[in-house]
A = this chain, B = another copy of it.
Amino acid sequence: MTPTSQDRYSADYLDRVAGSLYSSVLSDILDEAGHRQQVMRCDLRPLYPGAKLAGRAATALAVAVAEVPRQPYELLMDLLDGIRPGDVVVAAVQGGVQAALWGELLSTHARTRGARGAVLDGLSRDSWGIEEMKFPVFAAGVSPADSRGRLEVIAIRQPILAGGVPVADGDLVLADEDGVVVVPAAIEEEVVSRALQKVASENVIRDVLRQGASIRKVFEEHGIL
């Protein structure tokens, strides 16, 4: 079920990743493969309970600004009008300003174009509307304050640092209630395949534990805890 280069954005593939995998199992497999820094900072949280997404990073970098630029939102609009099905907007917001880069109108637009969610190392707003439409957004918080004159997107579709993790445009991103994991492209095929196997093992172990097994024995037999 691993993707060839042409079907990396296929709805089928991404639906299977979102449906069968979760962030902690991906993190475990990445750990085993020696990629131990692929989990974003734990203050990036879903805007509503149950939010989950898997998709391809469409990256943006925003910085704090001191005044409204002559042409605000330029690159942000370029990114949004170029959204492809399977994309997840992943934005790094630098500069520590409390203003929302994302909101309900952008979510409405992004979903219409086929985006599967957004991950913001920064703030969102319109959380009530975003929850209502069940568009999975992960953010460091929310604020009613708009980004105009506070933040400006200065680069899109470039490698960024978001939540402490390097993210390249097109990387597989999976986010759920535990947090956000980024899978580097070079190892995606192997990681996804092994993660699917681990999910199966965990289901077995869960049943064994429910019957009162010693956790030491389970660990010795399965190597999983």
Contacts and interface: CB of A to CB of B under 8 A. Distances in A.
Interface of A: 22-24, 26-28, 31, 36, 39, 41-43, 50, 61, 63-67, 73, 76-78, 80-81, 92, 94-98, 100, 103-106, 108-109, 112-113, 123, 125-128, 131, 141-146, 148-149, 154-155, 159-161, 166-167, 176-179, 181, 202, 205-206, 209-216, 218-219, 224-225
Contact of A125 (B24, B36, B81, B141): B24
Contacts of A41: 98
Contacts of A225: 73, 76-77, 105-106, 148
Contact of A109 (B50, B92, B112, B215): B215
A105 B189 CA distance: 26
B106 A215 contact: yes
A224 B143 contact: no
A42 B216 contact: no
Contact of A67 (B28, B43, B159): B159
B66 A167 contact: yes
Nearest to A109: B209
A209 B178 contact: no
A206 B108 contact: yes
A105 B224 contact: yes
Given A66-B167, A96-B96, A144-B181, 10 more contacts: A22-B128, A28-B146, A36-B149, A65-B159, A66-B161, A77-B219, A80-B215, A97-B161, A106-B215, A112-B210
A214 B128 contact: no
Given A39-B145, A205-B105, A126 B24 contact: yes
A21 B224 CA distance: 38
A206 B96 CA distance: 29
B63 A63 contact: yes
Question: Which residue, A24, A113, A206, A218, has most C-beta atoms of chain B within 10 A?
Answer: A24
